[in-house]
Amino acid sequence: MSHQTPNNISQDDKDLEINHVEVINRQDAAGGAVDEKYLSHAQDDAARILREVGPVEYTIEDDRRVLRKLDIWVCLPMFIVYTLVHLDKSALSYAAVFDLKKEAHLVGKQYSWLGSIVYLVQLVVQPLSAYALVKFPMSWWVVGNVFCWGVCLCCMAATHNFAGLLVTRALLGGFEATISPSFIAMTQMFWRRREQTYRNTAWLMSSSVAGFIGPILTYGIAHVKSGIKPWQGIFLFLGCITLAFCPLIFWMMPNDIGSAKFLTPQEKVIAVERLRDNNTGTKTSAWKWDQAKEAVLDPKTWIWGLMLSCMAIPSSGIGTFGTLITKGFGFSSFDTILFQMPPYVLTISFLLGGTWVMNKINLRFPVVAFFTLFPVAGAAALLYVPRDRPHALLGAYYVIMLYTPLQPLVYSWANMNAAGTTKQRTVGAILFIMQCAGNVAGPQVYLEDEAPVYKTGLYTDMACWSLLFVLICSMAVYLKYLNRRQAKKRERMGRMSNVRDMSIMTLEQAAAYKRELAAAGEGEDVNAHAFDDLTDFQNPDFHYIL
C-alpha cells in the first residue's frame, strides 16, 4: 500500500506515521476461528464490520480524515439538537420575564412546578429510553423525539392557565428525556476516549451557546407586535425553529458506524478500529441482563449519580429562577433578558480551557474540583452583598453561572469509565434519573415568599456544590484503586501489569507505545477483547481515567 506524508512534518514524524499501520484481521484470544453465533450475540456491531470488509491498512492521516468526517456528520447535528433542547427548556424562564405568571394566573408554587415537571416526567420515562437506545435505530429515535417536543412547545403558546402549561411542559420533558443519554451513547460509539472529552464538551457546550443566543432571540421576539403576547411569541417561535431543523438532523445523523453513509467501507473499518484502545466497544442490539445488574451494583454508578444530583439541584433552580433573581436587582424586563448573555460567553471560555487542561495533564478530577469553587463564592456574595448595589449583585450572579461547565465535564468523565453496551446504557439511564431527581427538587427550594433573594435556594445550592467537591475527590481515590486492581488482574494472567492507557494518548504517542509493546511481546494481547462487548470489570485491558 502506498501512502503520502505532508511535506511540513519532520522525518521522525514521517517514520512514525509509516510505522502506525494497523492490519485489521483479528481472531479470538485463543487464535482459532470464532463461532459466528457467538459473534452475533456476544460481540458488538463493530465485529461484524471487521468481518465483512476484511483487512485494511491505514495511516495516521487516514485516521484523522475519518475523525474529521465524524466531527462534521455526527458531532455537528448533536450540537444543533442540544442547543434546541436548552433553548426550548429555557423558554419558560424567558416567558416569565414578560408576565407569564400574571397572565396565566399562576399562584403559589405553580411556577416552580412548571420547572420541575419536565424533570419529573424524564425521571419516569428514562428506563424506557435506556431500552430504546439498545433496541431502536438511534438517530430515528432522536429525530422523532425532537419533532414531538417541537410540537409541544408550539402548543404552549395556546395555553392560558396552569393546567395547560403543566400538560405541555410534561410532554415536552418526556420527549426531551432521551437526548442526553442518546448523545452520551453516540459519543462512546464514535470517538476515542481522549477525543470524547472535546466532543462531549462540544455538544454539551451548546447549553452555553443557547444561553447566549436565547436572550437575543427573546429580545427580538418580545418587540414584535403581532396580536399575540410576547410570551406566546417566544413559545411559538422557538418551537417552529426546532421543527425546521428536523429534516437536517435526519439527513445527517447516522444510527451507528455501519449506517454512516458518509464513510466508505474501508473508512468504516478504520472508524471501528480507532476505538479498539477504548475497550468500551461500540454498540450491540442485544440487551444483557448481567451487564445491567453489574451497572446497578457498581459503586461508581451511584457516586456519579450523586454528583449529577448535586449539580442538578442548583442548575434547575437557577435555570428556572435566574431571570427573576436578576430582575429583582431592579432592572427592567428587557435589560434582564440581555443581562443573561455575558456569563455564557465566560462559561464557554472556562469549558474549553478546562477541557484543554484535562487532556494536557490526562487527569479530570483536579479541573472539575476547581470549578466547584466559583459558584460557592458567587452564591455567598449574592447572599451578603447589600441589595442597593445592583451591579455588584449582577457580578456575583455571573460568578454563580460558572457552575455551567461542571455538568459536561462530569458527564464526559463518567462516560469514559464504563464499558459494555448494556452497562453503558444502564449507567447512563441511572445517571440521568438521578440528575432528573435533582432537577425536580431544584426549583422547589426557591420559595416564593423569599423573592427576590431566595435565601433557602442559595444556601441549598452552596451545600450541593460543597458536597460535589468531596465526591469528586473520593471518586479519584476509588478509580486509582480500580486501576491497581486491573494491573494485578493482568499480572495474574501472566501479562504485563503496568500497561498504559493508549485511548488518552495522541496518535503519535499511541503509535510509538504500540511499538514498545510489540518489542516486549505484549502487542497481540493488548486490547484483544475490545469488541467482545465486555464490561469494565470483565475486561482486564480496561483503564479507568482519573
Give pLDDT, residue 5: 34
What is the rounded CA–CA span in Å between residue 364 and residue 223?
44
* Alpha-carbon torsion (301, 498, 470, 205), positive or negative: negative
Residue 511, domain member (yes or no): no
The verdict on residue 401 lying in a domain is: yes
Question: What sections of 385-420 are H helices per DSSP?
Answer: 390-400, 406-415
The Cα–Cα gap between 342 and 4 comes to 46
Q: CB under 8 Å to 307, separation ≥6 — which residues?
A: 410, 414, 468, 471, 472, 475
CA distance 181 to 145: 13
Q: Which residue has the cell 457546550?
A: 205
pLDDT of residue 302: 95
Does residue 106 lie in a domain region?
yes
Count CB-CB contacts under 10 A for residue 318: 26
Amino acid code (one letter) for 265 = P
In a domain, 178, yes or no: yes
Q: Is the dihedral of CA 45, 47, 52, 55 positive or negative?
A: positive
- pLDDT by 10s per residue, the chain, length 546: 333 333 333 333 333 333 333 333 333 333 333 333 333 444 556 666 767 766 677 888 888 999 999 999 999 999 999 999 888 888 888 888 888 888 888 888 888 888 888 888 887 887 777 778 777 888 899 999 999 999 999 999 999 899 999 999 999 988 988 888 888 888 888 888 888 878 888 887 787 788 888 888 888 888 887 778 888 899 999 999 999 999 999 999 998 888 889 999 889 888 888 877 766 655 566 778 888 899 999 999 999 999 999 999 998 888 778 778 888 888 887 888 778 888 878 888 888 888 889 888 888 899 999 999 999 999 999 888 888 888 888 888 889 988 888 887 888 788 888 888 788 888 888 888 888 888 888 888 888 888 888 889 899 999 999 999 999 999 999 999 999 998 888 888 877 778 777 777 777 777 787 777 777 666 556 666 656 678 888 888 888 988
The Cα 537–Cα 295 span in angstroms is 10
Chain centroid to CA 403: how far? 15
Q: What SS3 class is residue 319?
A: helix
CA dist., res. 352 & res. 404, Å (int): 12
- Going by C-alpha positions, the residue among 117, 205, 266 that lies closest to residue 408 is 205
Dihedral angle over CA of 85, 86, 89, 92, nearest 10: -140
How far apart, in whole angstroms, are the C-alpha atoms of residue 295 and residue 364? 22
Q: Write down the pLDDT at residue 199.
A: 86
User: Which residues, other chains included, contact 160 with Cβ-Cβ below 8 Å and sequence gap of 6+?
Assistant: 103, 104
- For 536, the 3-state DSSP assignment is coil
Domain with 469 in it:
61-256+278-483
**Measured distance CA(276)–CA(502) in Å, rounded:** 10
DSSP three-state, residue 542:
coil
C-alpha cell recorded at residue 270 = 478504520
The conformational region for residue 330 under phi > 0 = left, psi -120 to 50 = alpha, else beta, is left
Residues in the chain: 546
Burial class of 143 by CB neighbour count within 10 A (0 to 12, 13 to 18, 19+):
buried
Q: How far apart are CA 263 and CA 69, in angstroms?
A: 8
SS (H, E, C) 57-109: CCCHHHHHHHHHHHHHHHHHHHHHHHHHHHHHHHHHHHHHHCCHHHHCCCCCC
Tell me if 39 is assigned to some domain: no
Name the helix (H) or strand (E) containing 424: helix 421-444
**Could you give the CA distance from residue 84 to residue 152 in angstroms, rounded to a whole number?**
13
> Which residue type does 465 have?
W
Contact 545, 295 (CB under 8 A): no
Through-space distance between the first and last CA atoms of the chain, rounded to whole angstroms: 39
- Domain of residue 394, CATH code: 1.20.1250.20
Quote the cell numbers at residue 51. 468481518
Answer whether residue 36 is part of any domain: no
**What letter represents residue 334's amino acid?**
F
Q: What is the pLDDT of residue 204?
A: 75
* pTM, full prediction: 0.71
Of 273, 267, 250, 295, the closest CA to residue 418 belongs to: 295
- Asked if residue 71 is part of any domain, the answer here is yes
Number of structural domains found in the chain: 1
> What pLDDT shows up at residue 285?
65
Full DSSP string of 258-287: TT-TTS-HHHHHHHHHTTGGG-S----S--
Cell numbers for 40: 452475533
**Half-sphere exposure of residue 479, counting CA atoms within 13 Å on the CB side?**
23
Type of residue found at 346: L
| Inter-residue contact 156 to 273 (CB < 8 Å) | no
Q: According to the model, what pLDDT value does residue 310 have?
A: 94
